[in-house]
Structure 1
Amino acid sequence: MTEEEVLSEFRAAGALLEGHFLLSSGRHTALYMQCARVLMNPDRAGRLAVALAAKLPRDLRAKIDKVVSPAMGGLIIGHEMGRALNVDAVFVERPAGTFELRRGFTIEPGERVLMVEDVVTTGLSSREAIKAVEAEGGKVIALACLVDRTGGNTEFDVPFESLASLTFPTYAEDELPPELAAIPAVKPGSRKG
């Protein structure tokens, strides 16, 4: 699946939004990828997961024991990646501010994990989720996401793969362009601002 085909999936789902958005990083942007909308259709979610799984090197795919994703954004694509790779998929969540396993989910010591996100912007959530897996004794061997919004400015200690790389300008509160400042900000993600 090419980047243009990925963007076509987002457009078809009404998931490429324009306006004034406050990201979980605290930065502002005029464009937002609402992955929950693109993933609400099971066939589309499955196609995207199969395409993302296919982008992973074959030898890496063969090593994956389990898929872990951060709740909320990574839940659906994580589950579909588990299906595409034929491994279990679980998630970490933040009941008290930091990621942890709950609901009877376990990670065995040494278990090789693929971390799956919907969008990676700053990498903060990914790093926090990886830390939670490592605290359980798992070994994250790669990170995969639908959309890489890092602009190449974020590095990880594991291989990082995405279906599409997009760079939308983001702004700190004190550097908003006038046209963006004139529109009330909306917080579309799952984390409270």
Structure 2
Amino acid sequence: MAAVGAALGPLVTGLYDVQAFKFGDFVLKSGLSSPIYIDLRGIVSRPRLLSQVADTLFQTAQNAGISFDTVCGVPYTALPLATVICSTNQIPMLIRRKETKDYGTKRLVEGTINPGETCLIIEDVVTSGSSVLETVEVLQKEGLKVTDAIVLLDREQGGKDKLQAHGICLHSVCTLSKMLEILEQQKKIDAETVGRVKRFIQENVFVAANHNGSPLSIKEAPKELSFSARAELPRIHPVASKLLRLMQKKETNLCLSADVSEARELLQLADALGPSICMLKTHVDILNDFTLDVMKELITLAKRHEFLIFEDRKFADIGNTVKKQYEGKCIIQESARIRNPA
């Protein structure tokens, strides 16, 4: 198997060519606006590249002299990588589920578990290290030892130090800095892009709050947006904006599900609990004594107590029929700010 260093350039270029690395402006799960987005899920459709990545990960483990009995990929992107590694090298594999099944064996870890054995973790990208730690915790509860993790790309945002603080040694095939260097040398990206990404990484490094493994904090924490601030974000839907402003003003995010069959009970609930909610969910088609006056009174209560009406009704027929449903006697089009389309 070729040395990792020699294969790194072609590997990074190959991943860039299949758009695993995207440059621009992206909103991350954390809410941060990032100049780079890394998505390796697409390599499952490219067997040669998938095998190349898996081989490089395994070679990195071999070069580090890691001793292990089983392999577990962090769900979900690393699962196919772990599968290829184990199949190619005849190594037992374990699969960690993100959630326990509510049927069958209800196991969180699938595969043959021998307490006391050492399991090597495989991951595609490490940022804060939290996903790896979650997998470590699950495996340790099964009686397994975890000392090392292999990652394709270390974003250099504190994940390695965080894992080290928990006794896990992180071995990376490539760092984000090295990846940027390779792509710049290949003229895939320019110096300005490299600078933007490096500044973002330096300004957003995750660190352990203390030595005992408490939750992560960020050196340069993004400003937390209030509901009213989120209501002013560009391209936000007007109804979503109104809901957020109501949540801010009334200091509530409660939605009352009023699944009652009598109009009087519906109106009583709306009047009594209206001041405490931001939304009322209705099923007007199950009201035994529905009239237009009922709906008009409900609208009056919604305005008085400042809450939105969510008519939980399925509109999945042909266009003309749905149009008639909207405009029918229930006057859903006028009353309900939010409707369930299907």
TM-score by length of 2: 0.45
> How many angstroms does 1:24 deviate by?
3.8
Map 1:109-148 → 2, pairs under 5 A: 109-148=115-154
2:26–2:33 contact (8 Å) kept in structure 1: yes
1:71 maps to 75
2:18 maps to 13
Separation of aligned partners in 1, 2:150 and 2:122: 5
Q: For residues 142 and 27 of structure 1, do their structure 2 counterparts lie closer, same or farther at Cα, with a shift above 3 Å needed? A: same
Percent of matched pairs sharing the same residue? 22
Q: How much is the aligned-residue C-alpha RMSD, in angstroms?
A: 2.9
2:223 maps to 174
1:163 maps to 173
2:113 maps to 107
Separation of aligned partners in 2, 1:142 and 1:102: 21
Match for 2:74: what amino acid?
A: P
Separation of aligned partners in 2, 1:101 and 1:44: 32
Name stretches of at least 5 consecutive residues in structure 1 with no aligned partner: 176-180, 185-193
> How many angstroms does 1:146 deviate by?
1.0
Q: For residues 18 and 40 of structure 1, do their structure 2 counterparts lie closer, same or farther at Cα, with a shift above 3 Å needed? A: same
Which of 50, 54, 60 does residue 55 from structure 1 map onto? 60
Aligned length: 175
Q: Secondary structure at the match of 1:7?
A: helix
Match for 2:128: what amino acid?
A: T
Separation of aligned partners in 2, 1:59 and 1:44: 23
Q: For residues 103 and 91 of structure 1, do their structure 2 counterparts lie closer, same or farther at Cα, with a shift above 3 Å needed? A: closer
Deviates more, 1:163-172 or 1:125-134: 163-172
Match for 2:171: what amino acid?
A: E
2:263 maps to none
Separation of aligned partners in 1, 2:235 and 2:15: 23
Deviates more, 1:73-82 or 1:21-30: 21-30
Match for 1:174: what amino acid?
A: K
> How many angstroms does 1:85 deviate by?
3.6
Separation of aligned partners in 2, 1:94 and 1:129: 9
Q: Confirm whether residue 40 of structure 1 aligns to residue 50 of structure 2.
A: no
2:95–2:109 contact (8 Å) kept in structure 1: no
Match for 1:37: what amino acid?
A: G
Match for 2:55: what amino acid?
A: V
> How many angstroms does 1:182 deviate by?
7.8
- The structure whose RCO (Cα within 8 Å, separation 6+) is larger is 1
Which of 67, 78, 85 does residue 81 from structure 1 map onto? 85
Q: For residues 101 and 139 of structure 1, do their structure 2 counterparts lie closer, same or farther at Cα, with a shift above 3 Å needed? A: farther
Runs of 4+ in 1 over 6 A off after TM superposition: 181-184
> How many angstroms does 1:104 deviate by?
4.2
The structure that is helix-richer by fraction is 2
Higher-Rg member (1/2): 2
Q: For residues 92 and 15 of structure 1, do their structure 2 counterparts lie closer, same or farther at Cα, with a shift above 3 Å needed? A: same
Which of 127, 144, 155 does residue 149 from structure 1 map onto? 155
Match for 1:45: what amino acid?
A: L
> How many angstroms does 1:26 deviate by?
4.4
Spell out, residue by residue over 1:41-80, the C-alpha distance to the aligned partner (whole angstroms, 9 max, x if none).
111111111112112245745x321111121121111212
Name stretches of at least 5 consecutive residues in structure 2 with no aligned partner: 101-105, 178-196, 205-220, 225-232, 237-342
Deviates more, 1:131-140 or 1:65-74: 65-74
Q: Secondary structure at the match of 1:56?
A: helix
